[in-house]
Amino acid sequence: MSMVVGIPPSLKDYIGDRSFRATLGDGSSCGTLTSKEQGTLYGFYTFARAAGLDEGDVVRMTFDLLTSTVTLDIVDEEALEE
Residue 72 CB coordination number (10 Å)? 23
Distance CA 8, CA 74 (A): 20
Residue 51, H or E segment: helix 45-51
Q: Nearest-CA neighbor of 49 among 28, 35, 70?
A: 28
The domain limits of the chain are 4-81
Amino acid at 69: T
Distance CA 60, CA 30 (A): 14
Question: What does pTM read for this prediction?
Answer: 0.84
Per-residue pLDDT reduced to its tens digit, 16-33 = 899 999 999 899 999 999
Q: Please check the confidence at residue 51 and state whether its pLDDT lies above 80.
A: yes
